[in-house]
């Protein structure tokens, strides 16, 4: 599937321009646990996956640069002299953002042509935007020999998301997409922007993503609102970020907070603890505890942080009733997208059928199901 994606991009590039000078594959990511902790300087447990963005690029002597989105059959011309965010720019803003942030750093770029295509399901919480940003910055770094480190590249990708897409995301998505390792997940410290890779053996269980195929409109404003709540509570606690807070400290200011804001801050503190417990469970090959922590994480996201939705809660509740599943939770920003499930290999086929039928009956629409493997981060394609 990945090979076909790369082949299609290369073929289209040749058709439109000539031969690509550089080809890059940048993966999407899943997050096993540690949701909404990244912008609180906390811990997360993400992994790159075997779905992503393939991109081909070459220099051009024309006066403008051109980006072609193969999946949408859309082309966009970029003047390097006037790079700014577009109103409702969609995919264009991720590319413009990377170019704009490089130029802002005083880095000189020549004109280029690029073609990209992806197989990350949109709106599924697998960070297609981070994969696209990383593929662009990685390709430009190679094409123009900019000598940027991977850490510098992901910060450019993150700023592109902030300043051009208008989403004040943490660094986890870009980091996992760039630094992922095969068959491993990364215990990531979002303050030091560093990680430790842990090989994971899910034993007789497989990772299954179930996409609700819904995206409720709340997501962007709600995300930014929760970030502000976390920052305000940190200030009240006189700590740099909620990563440094304790439940006892939070209890001391409880009467100064609205109940819903208290619960949001409490969720972040507890989720950070869960990530550490999850790491211990991975080291001990304790699949039962891993599953329990996934369920606890979902409960916190749904009841305390309030970023779930009816469809996500339905899928997790259904998983709880199935002997096939040892743990499940919503994944990503929330209000739609996917649940991540650990499903027994022998019961995989039956579970997929049962959950699909139940979801269809409940919502009169289909969910989508994907198996994913833990994969390596952004890399040059030979």
> Within this chain, do residues 183 and 253 fall inside the same structural domain, yes or no?
no
> Within this chain, do residues 12 and 131 fall inside the same structural domain, yes or no?
yes
Q: Which ranges constitute the DSSP H helices of 200-258? A: 219-237, 247-252
> Within this chain, do residues 243 and 176 fall inside the same structural domain, yes or no?
no
> Within this chain, do residues 354 and 256 fall inside the same structural domain, yes or no?
yes
173 carries an active-site annotation: yes
Instruction: In whole angstroms, give the CA distance from residue 53 to residue 24.
Output: 8
> Within this chain, do residues 234 and 359 fall inside the same structural domain, yes or no?
yes
Instruction: In whole angstroms, give the CA distance from residue 313 to residue 202.
Output: 24
CB atoms within 10 A of CB 258: 9
State the virtual CA torsion across 104, 110, 115, 119 in degrees, nearest 10: -30
* Residue-number span of the structural domain to which 347 is assigned: 205-371
Q: Which ranges constitute the DSSP H helices of 144-171? A: 150-160
Tell me what pLDDT residue 102 has: 98
Q: Positive or negative CA dihedral for 183, 123, 173, 341?
A: negative
How do residues 196-251 score in pLDDT, each as one tens digit?
A: 999 998 889 999 999 999 877 666 778 888 999 999 999 999 999 999 999 999 99
Tell me the CATH number at 8.
3.30.230.10
Instruction: Please identify which of the residues 38, 41, 173, 261 carries the catalytic annotation.
Output: 173
> Within this chain, do residues 249 and 195 fall inside the same structural domain, yes or no?
no
Question: Hey, is 117 helix, strand or coil?
Answer: strand
Tell me what pLDDT residue 2 has: 84
- CB-based contact 55:193 (threshold 8 Å): no
> Within this chain, do residues 160 and 81 fall inside the same structural domain, yes or no?
yes
Which token pair is 107? Answer: 């880095």
> Within this chain, do residues 11 and 155 fall inside the same structural domain, yes or no?
yes
> Within this chain, do residues 184 and 209 fall inside the same structural domain, yes or no?
no
pLDDT-flagged residues of the chain (< 70): 123, 217-219
Q: Per-residue b/e over 107-133, b at no fewer than 16 CB within 10 Å?
A: bebeebbbbbbbbbbebbbbbbbbbbb
Q: How many domains would you assign to the chain? A: 2
> Within this chain, do residues 303 and 328 fall inside the same structural domain, yes or no?
yes
């Amino acid at each position: 599937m990945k090979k076909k994606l790369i082949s299609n991009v290369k073929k289209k590039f040749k058709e439109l321009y000539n031969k690509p000078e550089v080809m890059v594959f940048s993966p999407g990511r899943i997050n096993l646990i540690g949701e909404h902790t990244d912008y609180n300087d906390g811990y997360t447990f993400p992994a790159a996956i075997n779905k992503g963005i393939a991109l081909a690029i070459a220099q051009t002597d024309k006066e403008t640069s051109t980006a072609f989105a193969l999946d949408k059959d859309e082309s966009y011309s970029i003047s390097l002299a006037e790079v700014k965010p577009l109103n409702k720019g969609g995919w264009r803003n991720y590319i413009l953002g990377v170019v704009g942030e490089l130029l802002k750093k005083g880095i000189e770029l020549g004109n280029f042509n690029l073609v990209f295509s992806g197989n990350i399901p949109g709106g599924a919480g697998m960070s297609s935007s981070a994969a696209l940003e990383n593929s662009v910055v990685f390709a430009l770094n190679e094409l123009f020999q900019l000598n940027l480190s991977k850490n510098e590249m992901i910060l450019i990708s993150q700023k592109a998301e902030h300043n051009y897409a208008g989403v004040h995301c943490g660094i986890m998505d870009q980091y996992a997409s760039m630094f992922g390792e095969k068959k491993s997940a990364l215990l990531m410290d979002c303050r030091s922007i560093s990680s430790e890779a842990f090989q994971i053996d899910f034993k007789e269980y497989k990772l299954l993503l179930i996409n609700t195929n819904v995206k409720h409109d709340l997501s962007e404003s709600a995300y930014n609102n929760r970030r502000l709540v976390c920052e305000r509570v940190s200030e009240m606690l006189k700590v740099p970020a909620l990563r440094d807070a304790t439940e006892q400290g939070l209890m001391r200011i409880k009467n100064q907070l609205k109940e819903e804001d208290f619960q949001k801050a409490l969720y972040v503190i507890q989720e950070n603890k869960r990530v550490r417990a999850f790491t211990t469970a991975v080291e001990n090959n304790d699949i039962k505890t891993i599953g329990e922590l996934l369920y606890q994480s979902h409960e916190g996201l749904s009841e305390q942080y309030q970023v779930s939705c009816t469809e996500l809660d339905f899928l997790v509740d259904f998983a709880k009733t199935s002997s096939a599943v040892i743990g499940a939770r919503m994944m990503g920003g929330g209000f739609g997208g996917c649940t991540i499930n650990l499903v027994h290999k022998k019961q995989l086929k039956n579970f997929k059928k049962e959950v699909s039928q139940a979801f269809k009956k409940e919502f009169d629409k289909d969910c989508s199901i994907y198996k994913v493997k833990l994969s390596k981060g952004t890399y040059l394609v030979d």
